[in-house]
Amino acid sequence: MNVTTIVQHESAGEFLANCGSWLSRDEGLNHGLLSLAEALHSNRHIHEPPFAYCHIASKSEILGCAIFAEPDGLVLSEMSSETSAALFPYLYDKIGLPSRIYGPVDPAIRLGGIFAKTSDLAHEIHSSWKVHRLDSLQVHNPRVQGRLMLATKDYQQLVSTWGREYDVEKPANVNIERFLLRKLEDRLLYFWMDEEPKSLATLSGTTCKGPRISAVYTPRSLRGQGYAFALVYELGKRHLESGRPYITLNTQMGDSVEKMYDKIGYRVVGKKVSVVFRQTPK
């Protein structure tokens, strides 16, 4: 019988030192967990304590990892049903009922079910996501005027406005305006420029082998003209040509923007879900 051990880490840095190599074996799928740990380690983040970092192991073999940090909630790696069950008592004692659980489909749903049994709540999938990875470009340069530009603080007001519009259109677990302003400050926010900004996107996990594109946004009045396509294409091209082996991004299941990424050359490497809890009918 294999004996499992829960290993608690006191900081994001300690978590990365112990779990980073294991998570990097499947970095594309674990990118969200790695970039969250890196953000928390750098103190350049929008998360609120308390934080929890842990992994579960059998002898010296890591079986799964987890971080709790609001507003992301409980973020998981891939793990077996036995590992989920073994990890639950520690997590419940440490954080209680999380606001949400985010991770690969089976672990997130399984652990959500175990948490739900401790209360009068039911668990359900709030959103489903595909993880895409680009190893090589499949199209020629997009036919749209303009250029890729690293955004500067001169555009802070525009970024705030677009962040609020984005938040209304696609509400997220984080404050999008605040998220974008932090990316702008950290020089990780890019525009597609054609005399003026037409579309934006951000980067996360830049210390990983392959960074992740996120928060791609074009105002409604500027859509349908190829600006987001050009932005994502050129951002991927720049990093691949700089020697990065790949770049990733996530899309919400059923989002029509998937077709755009398919044309560029992104392929699906995994799926994730966000599980939340709700009151059961009386």
- Indicate whether 238 belongs to any domain: yes
Q: Each residue of 31-88: pLDDT tens digit?
A: 889 989 988 998 777 888 889 999 999 988 999 999 999 989 999 999 998 999 999 9
**pLDDT in the model for residue 207:** 79
- Indicate whether 259 belongs to any domain: no
- Indicate whether 173 belongs to any domain: yes
Average pLDDT over residues 240-247: 93
**pLDDT in the model for residue 258:** 87
**pLDDT in the model for residue 167:** 92
Average pLDDT over residues 220-227: 94
**pLDDT in the model for residue 171:** 82
Average pLDDT over residues 153-159: 97
Same domain, yes or no: 235 and 172: yes
Same domain, yes or no: 125 and 152: no
- Indicate whether 154 belongs to any domain: yes
- Indicate whether 45 belongs to any domain: yes
Same domain, yes or no: 225 and 199: yes
CATH number at residue 230: 3.40.630.30
**pLDDT in the model for residue 279:** 82
Q: Each residue of 99-112: pLDDT tens digit?
A: 999 999 999 999 99
pTM: 0.89
Same domain, yes or no: 177 and 143: yes
CATH number at residue 35: 3.40.630
Q: Residue 129 — very low, low, confident or very high, per pLDDT cuts 50/70/90?
A: very high
- Indicate whether 251 belongs to any domain: no
Same domain, yes or no: 223 and 108: no
- Indicate whether 256 belongs to any domain: no
Q: Buried b vs exposed e over 78-92: b needs ≥16 C-beta within 10 Å?
A: bbeeebbebbbebbe
**pLDDT in the model for residue 139:** 73
Q: Residue 170 — very low, low, confident or very high, per pLDDT cuts 50/70/90?
A: confident
Same domain, yes or no: 93 and 144: no
Average pLDDT over residues 227-246: 94
Query: Whose CA is closest to 142, among 32, 263, 242, 253?
Result: 263
**pLDDT in the model for residue 150:** 98
Q: Residue 254 — very low, low, confident or very high, per pLDDT cuts 50/70/90?
A: confident
Q: CA–CA separation, 65 vs 61, rounded Å?
A: 12
**Average predicted confidence (pLDDT) for the chain:** 92
Side-chain-side CA neighbours of residue 234 (13 Å): 24
Same domain, yes or no: 143 and 195: yes
- DSSP assignment string, 31-76: HHHHHHHHHHHHT-S--EEEEEEEEEEETTEEEEEEEEEETTEEEE
Q: Tokens representing 251?
A: 């899309």
Same domain, yes or no: 44 and 73: yes
Domain that holds residue 125: 4-129+274-279
- Indicate whether 264 belongs to any domain: no
Place of tokens 């749209």: 144
Same domain, yes or no: 77 and 166: no
Domain count across the chain: 2
Same domain, yes or no: 35 and 52: yes
